[in-house]
Amino acid sequence: MRRLHSKLGYFLGRPGASLRLLVACSALTGAALAQEAALDAADQATIGSAVDVRWTGPGNQYDSVYVILPSAGDDAKGINSGSITSGKNPVRVVMPDDPGEYELRYWDRKAGKILVRRPIRVVDVPTEIAAPDAAQMGAKIEIGWQGPGNSYEFIGLYESGAADDAKSLAAATVLGRSPIVMHLPETPGQFELRYVTRQSKRVLARRPLVIEGVEATLEAPDTADVGSTIEIHWTGPGNQYDQLALYPAGAEEGAKPARSEGIVSKRNPVPMRLPEQAGAYELRYVTRKNGIVLATRPIAVGGVDAALDAPERATAGTPIDVGWTGPGNDYDLIALYPEGAEDGAKAAATATILSAKNPVLLNLPDEAGPYELRYRTAQQGTVLARRAITVEPGGRLAVVFERDGEIVQTSGDGAVEIILDASGSMLQREDGTRRIEIARGVLDELVRDQLDDQRLFALRVFGHKEAGSCRTDIEIPLGPLDRDAAATRIASVNAMNLAKTPIADSLAKVPTDLAGADGPKTVILITDGEETCEGDPAAVIRDLRARGLDVQVSIVGFAIDDPELKEDFQSWAELGGGQYFDARSANELTRSLRTVISGPFRVLDAAGKVVGKGVIGGAEIVLPAGTYKVETVGGSPQIIDDVVIKPDELTKVAF
């Protein structure tokens, strides 16, 4: 450095000293750094490992440190290298897969030469494989190992005697963890597991493995009905996603099956629903990967006798019982079509078979005429049986409540559930009073003064607990009415701004809410707005009625101005067998509730047989022409005698 200072003093005293000083400094600095270049790393490393190398040198962008055999010339390409970018120090260099004496070199990219060298020894790592001596074909096995554990090294499966550079039949990457999992091929024989390095594919360890063939068996009925569900018992490898498949008899291997069921978590037996085409079939156990057939069993899928039992004539708009003989599979249909309609046409009415329920209840359409009942299978809509039926016009009966004061009702029969909208819109005011306050007052009067003590009562509310939410809660679970407790709970309900309106979801919970009730069930929805939670109230109400629940759904629209929304509510109430009421005040809301919950009634024919039932103030019911008796249901019924029903006419009676 003293010589460097001396030269700087010389240049500073001459003309043009600044330029000459810059050139001299550059040359002298480069020479000084070249003399000071050095590499610092471990003296020894394991094969394939990554070694951190600290360097001293110019540190030019993309200078590099690489590993190479000492005998390689200066212009030879390194085996692996680490590039110096943005002054990164240390750099990481991956060692070769083969043990031996190597050399680390610093390469100056600008000067195009090696600045410094350093020896490094690369040594082997004791490597072992632990695995079972034998396993079933297609099985999943665990393989333990000891070895370098470098990234992307793997254990591969090879045929015994295969060359080291052969392609593996199966492989599992080490990734530093032990044991690892390998799915074996579906081919029996003698094989070898090998631990293989990433770079040179050097084999570090070997272990023989015998893959054994597997016997499989199938147990199933020799014959079964079309569309029926059978259980298949099996023995075999039970590998995940092995399949039990059904093929037409004689189908080639690899053909598309008529049915298939995967073996998941070794479930046994496996259920399979058979096709709706009779014929000779074959069950096969098929392996997951290669589609090898391990076992077969023939099965004959036969036809099934089907028939329908229903009256030859019935009244439009009334329900009838339809008995059936047939497969009885879930979601088979009893469907009603206009006479001559094609099998693919839309049905005028349907009843679904669930859990082999027999007979099923079918609601006839309002339009009279000649029809045909058809038994249709669930999968392909195959018609298995037909029966003609004539739908005759009937008369309509409306039973209403026209008195003020005490509600006509009975003790111990049926249940009432109120579904109250407490969403943000219920905070709006009608004549200075918030809608929710009006609703609370009317419901308080209902539970304190109007409902019978023994009437089963439930209250569900939505919109009162979380803003921006579609939450709906049962606030009063179903039970005998406790007037004070119910009034206290109602008083605690308040609307919440920005809460949503989950009408469909609230209605969908009715079967659970009223699960403990026998007899007629009355549901009253009180709301001032439309569904805002992407539900389909009409579909939910339709499902409630289709499930055979003795439930009527009425709707009270509170302060509704939208004509289209009123039409929706009207149609929903009709679907629910109930009634729609338009209310704008406390008096109108009270009147609506009193009308709906006045009580159930039933209609008896001349022989004393119950031929119809409903709720006072609810929807009209349809009856065949004739003379009937209408009575309230309960311990002290009120009776209206000699009620005459005429075809295509409305008869109105009042309690």
Model confidence, pTM: 0.44
State whether 562 and 457 are in the same domain.
yes
State whether 467 and 532 are in the same domain.
yes
Tell me the one-letter amino acid at 280.
A
In a domain, 569, yes or no: yes
d(CA 490, CA 483): 11
**Tokens read off for 439:** 């609703």
In a domain, 42, yes or no: yes
The CATH number of whichever domain residue 88 belongs to comes to: 2.60.40
Phi and psi at residue 528, in whole multiples of 5°? -115, 15
Cβ atoms of residues 269 and 236 within 8 Å: no
State whether 584 and 619 are in the same domain.
no
In a domain, 525, yes or no: yes
Contacts of residue 208, defined as CB under 8 A and 6 or more positions apart, other chains included, come to 133, 160, 190, 191, 192, 193
State whether 46 and 22 are in the same domain.
no
State whether 556 and 417 are in the same domain.
yes
State whether 441 and 579 are in the same domain.
yes
In a domain, 495, yes or no: yes
In a domain, 401, yes or no: no
Q: Which of 527, 530, 559, 556 is nearest to 433 (CA)?
A: 559
pLDDT along the chain (655 residues), means of 10: 41 40 39 69 96 95 95 94 93 96 96 95 97 91 95 95 94 91 91 96 96 91 89 88 89 87 82 88 88 90 88 89 90 94 92 90 91 90 92 87 47 76 90 91 87 83 90 94 92 90 94 87 92 92 82 90 89 86 87 75 89 76 88 75 90 85
State whether 426 and 501 are in the same domain.
yes
Report the pLDDT value the prediction gives residue 266, as an integer from 0 to 100: 75
In a domain, 406, yes or no: no
End position of a domain, from candidates 302, 331, 355? 302
State whether 471 and 559 are in the same domain.
yes
Report the pLDDT value the prediction gives residue 411, as an integer from 0 to 100: 39
**Which DSSP helix (H) or strand (E) runs through 555?**
strand 551-558
- Give the domain range for residue 330: 307-393
End position of a domain, from candidates 188, 212, 236? 212
Report the pLDDT value the prediction gives residue 402, as an integer from 0 to 100: 61
d(CA 164, CA 206): 11
> Are β-strands 415-421 and 456-462 bridged in parallel, bridged antiparallel, or unpaired?
parallel
Cβ atoms of residues 458 and 417 within 8 Å: yes
In a domain, 402, yes or no: no
Q: Please give the full DSSP string across 374-434, using - where no structure is assigned.
A: EEE-TTT--EEEEEEEEEE--EEEEEE----SS----SSS-EEEEEEE-SGGGGSEETTEE
State whether 285 and 256 are in the same domain.
yes
The CATH number of whichever domain residue 370 belongs to comes to: 2.60.40.10
In a domain, 405, yes or no: no
Domain count, the chain: 7
d(CA 127, CA 388): 81
**Tokens read off for 539:** 């579909």
State whether 588 and 605 are in the same domain.
no
End position of a domain, from candidates 196, 212, 228? 212
State whether 115 and 232 are in the same domain.
no
Report the pLDDT value the prediction gives residue 407, as an integer from 0 to 100: 41
d(CA 344, CA 340): 12
State whether 436 and 568 are in the same domain.
yes
